[in-house]
Amino acid sequence: MLDDINTLDLQYMTDIPDQQFHQNRAHPLRLELFTDLYELTMAQALFSEGLTDKPATFSAHFRNLPSGRNFLLACGLDTILEHFENLSFSDDAVSYLDSTRLFTDSFLDWIKGFQFTCNVRAIAEGTPVFPDEPLLEVNGPIIEAQIVETFVLNQIHLQTILASKAARIVSAAGGHPVIDFGARRAHGIDAAVKAARAFTLAGISGTSNVLAGQIYDLPLIGTMAHSFVQAFPTEEDAFRSFIKQYPESTLLVDTYDTLEGVRCVVNIAKELGNQFKVKAIRLDSGNIVALAAAARKILDEAGLEKVQIIASGGLDEWMVSELVDKGAPVDGFGIGTRMIVSEDNPAAELVYKLTEFSGTGKLKTSLDKKTIPGSKQVWRSEEDSDVGDIIGRVNETHKGRPLLDVVMVEGKRLPESHVPLGLSHRYALKEISKLPKQIRNISVAKIPYPVVISDKLKEFQRKVLDEIQN
């Protein structure tokens, strides 16, 4: 196949060399080159046309709700603003760009001095959002606002779909703690780390991911693996050894036979008497409804009413909801794969579109992908009788609370844009609680959350459309 590449001869293609690839490190520290090539070649073309500083506005919004979602929970803004504030092109990056032979010396000189000077308005992390609502509007010199597209989309998309999925599982758990066990199945290290933060925003109670714990100061939680149990002559030996070190452990009881595992815990409790401080057992396989009931019975009969039961193993919001509905005596949920890859909907249509350039509204008319021009505001009404959002032009006035705030001015974050995660977390739970019940439910709402486009914005869209078509 590789030999056939030249039959297409797409632009910018270089050969795949046979010599050793230099995988510098698992994680590059600098991210200025994390961008689609066209962001840079378009920048070069705009630069050559003298359009570098012409003002543009870009909007990041979801085109629609992924199937099975009643709302999305905005997340990722903090990562974006940090990136904007620190964005510059290192000598190493410029020299790589030079090596592609796609850029002029004067453009490379310009990019060496690159600084991000745009203004940013955004909806706060932890706010439920709906299609067409700008999570983020970037306004400033077109090259600067354009060049960050790939990064903005990558991080807002990832963090928002993960926070949105976690919110569903937290809702299904009906007050029981939900723990992130997903690091091993996340799509890479960045996703695993950002997931733990997004999940915390959405209401989970802790993560097993130590690196995320360090970076974001999150509660760390861990139990034990089957391999640990297997490394000892008997299950009881393994439990004894572990609680010698960690008396308040959660013991994994399903390596061999789950209920035998529970009986081992009971034996140890009898032996240790007052010294027995085990907090919980974990069930990781089999029919959790039946096993949790049987385990609870064994524990209670031995006077171990205080020992809790944690369920894990392939759980999602539907299974958690079933366990809760059936009254299974489960005290907490460890959730892995299905939350951390948002398995039923691992992607959503987040886009970053030019809506204004040089003072003129802009839109595309591509089939099924039409956009709404201009800078916008979203007003949210939360009164029962009148719940819903209005998307309007930025300078309109409507009832309800405006959701977009200025968070960055000329490339500098406003102090209030630094929101502690604990605050965002409480804000998110409050905002979710204000949504109509059927929107908070994990089932698809029969009536979607009401979002209307203001008359003035519709009129503006028509006007811009007319200008393009004439």
Which residue in 259, 266, 280, 387 binds its own copies (CB under 8 A)?
A: 280
| Binding residue (CB under 8 A) for its own copies from 52, 55, 63, 83 | 83
Half-sphere exposure of 245 (CA within 13 A, CB side): 9
For 130-177, the DSSP string reads -TT--SEEEEEEHHHHHHTHHHHHHHHHHHHHHHHHHHHHHHHTTTS-
CB of 56 to its own copies, least distance (A): 7
CB of 357 to its own copies, least distance (A): 5
Asked if 227 is part of the footprint of its own copies (rule: CB under 8 A), the reply reads yes
Q: Which pair of structure tokens corresponds to residue 188? A: 């890479």
Q: Give, as ranges, the residues between 22 and 41 that touch its own copies (CB under 8 A).
A: 22-29, 31, 33-41
Interacting residues with its own copies between 326 and 385 (CB under 8 A): 331-332, 337-338, 341-343, 346-347, 350, 353-354, 357, 362-369
Candidate list 72, 120, 142, 295; residue touching its own copies; CB under 8 A: 142
Q: Which two tokens stand for residue 60?
A: 């990041």
Q: 204 - beta bridge partners?
A: none
Distance CA 470, CA 465 (A): 9
**Gap between the Cα atoms of 294 and 48, Å rounded:** 73
Bridge partners of 413, per DSSP, are 408
Indicate whether 244 belongs to the interface with its own copies (CB under 8 A).
Answer: yes
Task: By CB under 8 A, tell whether 16 contacts its own copies.
Answer: yes
User: Helices in 255-362 by DSSP H: which ranges?
Assistant: 258-272, 288-301, 317-325, 337-340
Amino acid identity, residue 148? V
421 binds its own copies (CB under 8 A): yes
Interface residue with its own copies, options 52, 114, 117, 222 (CB under 8 A):
222
Smallest distance from the beta carbon of 382 to its own copies, in angstroms?
19
Minimum CB separation of residue 417 from its own copies in Å reads: 12
Q: If binding is defined by CB under 8 A, does position 308 make contact with its own copies?
A: yes
Residue closer to its own copies, measured from CB, 45 or 414: 45
Q: Which of 153, 268, 294, 406 binds its own copies (CB under 8 A)?
A: 153
Identify which range of 116-124, 153-161, 292-300, 382-390 contacts its own copies by CB under 8 A.
153-161
56 strand-pairing partners: 140, 357
In the complex, what is the shortest distance from the CB of residue 156 to its own copies, in angstroms, rounded to a whole number? Answer: 10
> Which residues within the stretch 49-78 sit at the binding site for its own copies (CB under 8 A)?
49, 51, 54, 56, 58, 78
Kindly identify the residues of this chain, within the stretch 246-265, that bind its own copies according to CB under 8 A.
246, 248-250, 254-258
Contact between 48 and its own copies per CB under 8 A? yes
Between CA 442 and CA 462 the distance in angstroms is: 37
Helix (H) or strand (E) holding 402: strand 401-402
For its own copies, give the closer residue by CB, 299 or 390: 299
Closest by CA position to 219, among listed 208, 235, 203: 208
CA distance to 77, 178, 415, per residue, from 283 (Å):
37, 14, 45
Decide: 420 and 130 in contact? Cβ < 8 Å: no
DSSP label of 405: E
Exactly one of 157, 165, 296, 380 binds its own copies (CB under 8 A); that residue is 157
Number of residues that bind its own copies (CB under 8 A): 159
Site for its own copies in 178-217 (CB under 8 A): 179, 181, 183-194, 197, 200, 203, 205-206, 208-211, 213-217
175 binds its own copies per the rule CB under 8 A: yes
Does 310 sit near its own copies (CB under 8 A)? Answer: yes
Nearest to 354 by CA among 156, 151, 140, 155: 140
Nearer to its own copies, 105 or 368 (CB): 368
Rg (CA), the chain: 26
Q: What are phi and psi of 155, to 5 degrees?
A: -80, -40
Specify the 3-state DSSP secondary structure of 178: strand
Q: How far is the CB of 339 from its own copies (least distance, A)?
A: 11
Are 238 and 277 a contacting pair, CB within 8 Å?
Answer: no
Beta bridge partners of 280: 250, 308
101 is a contact residue toward its own copies (CB under 8 A):
no
If the CB atoms of residues 83 and 440 are measured against its own copies, the closer one turns out to be 83
Does the footprint of its own copies cover residue 105 (CB under 8 A)? Answer: no
